[in-house]
Amino acid sequence: MASFPSEILKYFSSLIEKETAIQYTSTNGHLLENRLRDVAKTWGYADIEAFWKEVQTRGLRSVERDMVLDLATNNETSFFRDPEVFDFFRNEFIPKSTSANSIVKIWCAATSTGQEPYSLMMTLAQLKDLGIVRNYDLLATDFSDRVLKQAQAGIYSQLEVHRGLPAPMLVRFFDQVMESGSTLPKFKAKADLFRNVTFRRQNLIEPWANQGPFDIIFCRNVLIYQDVESKKRVIARLASVLVPGGYLVLGGAESLLGLSADFDMQIYGKACVYKLKSQLKTSP
């Protein structure tokens, strides 16, 4: 149970669920408490209660609201997170995709700070060395402007690159840079990794811009935080922008069981992926 008053949890959790479909309850309220503490500190309040009292008096300012919603999202990520997923992409999906003259359309629907799309782009570059060449377009989206800014810059700390990124890949695909005021180097993705990649803000529960159809969609560790009906709506919409036979890749703790009959579950090594059935789909 969260240690801060239930009315504070209810107010902010309702706001977050309405805007993002992410749920905070008494079971994970401590996470929201920690994030609200950061918001309060940023705006100069002694604690959450002081921030809450001010909000009750004059309402929640738009900049405060945006920060609450931003910090409510879970942006935990790393390079090549869940390696079995990238094994599937490298050894199964790309080699068996359409002819080299076609464009493989990829969507990373919760890109966070960019490690997932950059991992995919590095994989494509390595396959090219082996003679497996595919033209591709990669769309990388996220709800948070803050994490998208880092993803677009492609700049990572030593700690970030040491989480999952093999040393040979670091040397090949990143340049060491120094930022003003820092004594520690950072690492910037080389220009080749940005080719054919578009970064865009996108809330999965809001109307989508015209996009797709995609051959594969990565939407990992997003649905786990939503209620059943929100999950069903998002999955139906994802299906509507996949080509027949396209793939949906979820997080390791996520499943389509009881949520959608539009996909067939397939196992490749240790990776579980979902292949869209070929029947005509209905719009969500």
- Model confidence at 279, pLDDT cuts 50, 70, 90, reads low
Let me know if residue 172 belongs to a domain: yes
pLDDT value of position 21: 77
Entry pTM = 0.84
Q: How many residues does the chain have?
A: 284
Output the DSSP codes for 133-200: --EEEEEEEES-HHHHHHHHHTEE-HHHHTTT--HHHHHHHEEEE--TT-SS-EEEE-GGGGTTEEEE
* Whether residue 30 is found in the same domain as residue 90: no
Say if residue 176 is in the same domain as residue 252: yes
- Longest CA span, the chain: 64
Tell me, what CATH number does 248's domain have? 3.40.50.150
pLDDT confidence of residue 282: 47
* Residue where a domain terminates, one of 16, 37, 72: 72
283 located within any domain: no
pLDDT (tens digit per residue) in 88-146: 999 999 999 875 568 999 999 999 999 999 999 999 999 999 999 999 999 999 988 88
Domain for residue 284, yes or no? Answer: no
Classify strands 135-142 and 197-201 as parallel, antiparallel or unpaired.
parallel
Q: Kindly tell me the burial class for residue 27, based on how many C-beta atoms sit within 10 Å of its own C-beta (0-12, 13-18, 19 or more).
A: exposed
184 falls within a domain: yes
Same domain, 13 and 153: no
- How much of the chain exceeds pLDDT 90, in percent? 55
User: Domain boundary at 30, 50, 72, which?
Assistant: 72
Average pLDDT, stretch 212-235? 91
Count of domains for the chain: 2
95 and 56 fall within a common domain: no
**Average pLDDT, integer, range 164-182:** 92
**Residue 1: predicted pLDDT:** 39
Between 30 and 2, the more confident residue is 30
192 with 90, same domain: the answer is yes
CA proximity to 256, closest of 243, 242, 275: 275
38 and 126 co-located in one domain = no
Is the pLDDT assigned to residue 284 strictly greater than 50?
A: no
Residues 151 and 94 reside in one and the same domain: yes
pLDDT at 234: 93
Nearest to 193 by CA among 73, 79, 25: 79
The beta-strand segments (E) located in 202-284 are 214-218, 242-249, 263-268, 271-276
Q: Could you identify the residue written with the tokens 């966070």?
A: 112
Question: pLDDT value at position 3?
Answer: 61
- Find the CATH number of the domain harbouring 46: 1.10.155
Do 147 and 58 share a domain, yes or no? no
- Could you tell me if 215 and 182 lie in one domain? yes
Mean pLDDT of the chain: 89
For the record, the structure tokens of 66 come out as: 């945006």
Tell whether 165 is covered by a domain: yes
What tokens were used for 63?
């900049």
Among 24, 44, 72, give the residue marking a domain's end: 72
Which one has a higher pLDDT value, 69 or 1? 69
59 and 146, same domain (yes or no): no
What is the structure's pLDDT at 167? 96
- The DSSP secondary-structure symbol of 93 reads I
pLDDT score recorded for residue 259: 95
For residue 66, pLDDT over 80 is answered with yes
- Round to whole Å and give the CA distance between 277 and 1: 42
Q: What's the mean pLDDT in 225-233?
A: 89
What type of residue is 104? V
Neighbours of 253 (CB within 10 A): 9
pLDDT in tens, 180-204: 777 889 999 999 998 899 999 998 8
In a domain, 269, yes or no: yes
* Residue range(s) defining the domain that contains residue 15: 6-72
Q: Do 115 and 39 sit in the same domain of this protein?
A: no
Same-domain status, 105 and 172: yes
- Token readout for 8 is 């504070």
Going by pLDDT thresholds of 50, 70 and 90, the confidence category of residue 2 is very low
Q: Compute how many other C-beta atoms are within 10 angstroms of the C-beta atom of residue 70.
A: 17
> Across 35-44, 200-209, 221-230, 267-276, which has the greatest mean pLDDT?
267-276
Cα–Cα distance for residue pair 196/201, rounded to 1 Å: 17
Residues in a beta bridge with 22: 226
Mean pLDDT of 264-281: 88
